[in-house]
Chains A and B, each alone.
Chain A
Amino acid sequence: MSEKEGSGTFKRYKHDFKPPQRKDGKGGAVDSSSPVILAFKSFQHELDARHDKYERIVKYSRDITTESKRTIFLLHRVISEPNKDDVLAEAKKKLDGVREKMKQVAQELVDEDVYQYHRAITSGLQEYVEAVTFQHFITHRALLSLDDINRQLIFENNRNCRQNINIASNNEDQTKQNILSLQISHVDYLLGVADLTGELMRLCIGSVGNGDIDTPFELTQFLREIFDGFAYIGNTGPYEISRKLYTLKQSLGKVENACYMLKVRGSEIPKHMLADLFVSKSELLEHDDGMS
């Protein structure tokens, strides 16, 4: 019956001409117990369930993103300040919170194909990679590997429902079933690390402001290594990676220029004025980037 609304707007006059004919035509169609309608009802349930799950994961992903971003801002405050340990402890607490959220995502994805919902969670995962590698760099001055990140994302499952994650073989193994995991893919990791370089650039500029002369050189060395790494990957990865590579090159240019400035002018200018010099220089650089 409801079909009439749709077609009726197009051909209202048809009702006037042949109402009985149309009724005959519809008799079978509106029968709500026909196999076709029953099939579509089950499709409705299936699609709704899928969309609901997708939306839930998107929400988690947003939470993960904002919380990771906050952690990064927090970590920017750490530089050479006396409260370093406090800030790091707080960052760790925040990241634990993020991981708790990721555990919930993992719980949503139990018995599901991870890649089916990958688009919902990918931005959150990248932001998390950025935050956690940044934290690791600040404490250890090294790049956190993908394996190490993934190792932190294996959770004990305290719910007693049926679980099997990624590995089909732990169907039989009762103890293994209590493990949840959310594994980050190569591509998400690389994109996260590419974002990390932007943070390192900011950190470098910031550290000059604090009169810290050594950190910029360390950072430049580290950024160069990462840049070499990305150059090694080249265009084997997806399109997004090559796009980020361009930004990475810009960041590296800024940092290298910063070191250059420090080397050349550092001995001439009193330490407390370095920052001023440097800020004006970096603004100039940004201006150049906009032009090209």
Chain B
Amino acid sequence: MSVVEMFAQLQSGLSADQDIREEIRKVVQTLEQTAREILILLQGVHQEAGFKNIPAKCLKAREHFSTVRTQLTELATKFPSDQYYRFHDQWRFVLQRLVFQAAFLVFLESEQLVTREAVSEMLGIECDREKGFHLDIEDYLSGVLNLASELSRLAVNSVTAGDYTRPLRIATFINELDFGFRLLNLKNDSLRKRYDGLKYDVKKIEEVVYDLSIRGLNKAQITATSET
């Protein structure tokens, strides 16, 4: 085979790759759109009015996740299933964001940390690599770290809205999370960088708890709620 023929063959391989990337990019764009819509919905809880109808907002957000599921199913059809990591970078960011949103949603509903299995189910994807389009563990952890910074914000805003007990619950939750992350031996990568920010979120929430407790505000709330 002549050199030119060989290069022509390689070129067709490369442009086939490029077509796949193009297809993926299109689906990822629709995913990003849905993710933005969910974000706007969930951001509502930081407003004073938002605190009163968290369950309603959660229900609405959950509806959007069904769109996410169909879009992710579509994404999975755009490339050979054994080449997940070849194109991983293209959906990494949006997937992390969706994990965060799912985790935030679950926290608002039940104040629990969403498990990796549960997120995968919410997103309509697999948990194990062997089974197809899956949720990479690092993406899951990144999403959870995003949750931590969102919760430190929520703690501040719930005090403003007059909810003095929520920051305490958030503090317990985030301390557990912090303890969990300490178990991991992270490499010096983007996940590690994000983990380094976790301590500031922990600090912020502890400050809020501190402010409340020296003023006796959290206790007042507890007695008030137990009376009613």
Contacts and interface: CB of A to CB of B under 8 A. Distances in A.
Interface string A1-24: 011001100110010011001000
Contacts of A92: none
Given A47-B184, A51-B187, A228 B4 contact: yes
A116 to B, nearest CB: 4
Given A113-B84, A168-B82, A228-B4, A2 B182 contact: yes
Interface stretch (B5-13, B35-43, B49-57, B69-77): B5-13
Nearest to B199: A6
B183 A40 contact: yes
Contacts of A230: 7
Contacts of A43: 137, 141, 180, 183-184
A94 B77 CA distance: 43
B85 A39 contact: no
A47 B195 CA distance: 14
Interface residues of B, number: 53
B207 A44 contact: no
A229 interface: yes
B116 interface: yes
Contacts, number: 139
Nearest to A112: B129
A113 B85 contact: yes
B7 A17 contact: no
A222 B2 CA distance: 11
Contacts of A266: none
A36 B202 contact: no
- What 10 A-B pairs have minimum CB-CB distances, sorted nearest first? A229-B7, A40-B180, A115-B85, A29-B175, A116-B85, A115-B86, A225-B3, A29-B176, A113-B85, A186-B13
Contacts of A77: none
Nearest to A10: B203
11 contacts: A7-B199, A11-B207, A30-B179, A36-B180, A37-B180, A39-B115, A48-B185, A50-B137, A143-B6, A222-B3, A232-B4
Interface string A134-161: 0000000001011000000000000000
A3 B175 contact: yes
A25 B184 CA distance: 22
Majority secondary structure of chain B interface residues (helix, strand, loop or mixed): helix
Interface string B188-211: 000000000001001100110110
A46 B137 contact: yes
A287 B61 CA distance: 64
Contact of B185 (A26, A44, A116, A232): A44
A56 interface: no
B1 A236 contact: no
A145 B6 contact: yes
Given A11-B210, A47-B185, A168-B82, A233 B14 contact: yes
B18 A18 contact: no
Interface in A234-290: 236-237
A113 B83 contact: yes
A174 B93 CA distance: 40
Nearest to A116: B85
A25 B6 contact: no
Contact of A233 (B1, B11, B113): B11
Contacts of A87: none
Contact of A226 (B3, B137, B172, B185): B3
Interface residues of A, number: 54
A34 B86 contact: no
Nearest to A13: B210
Given A116-B88, A229-B3, 9 more contacts: A11-B206, A11-B207, A29-B178, A40-B179, A40-B180, A146-B6, A186-B17, A229-B4, A237-B14
B18 A236 contact: yes
Nearest to B87: A115
Interface string B128-149: 0110000001100100000000
Contacts of A237: 14
B180 A146 contact: no
Contacts of A236: 11, 14-15, 18
Give the one of B6, B15, B177, B210 with max A CB within 10 A: B6
Give the one of B14, B199, B203, B214 with max A CB within 10 A: B14
B168 interface: yes
A34 B14 CA distance: 49
Contacts of B179: 2-3, 29-30, 37, 40
B91 interface: no
Nearest to B6: A145
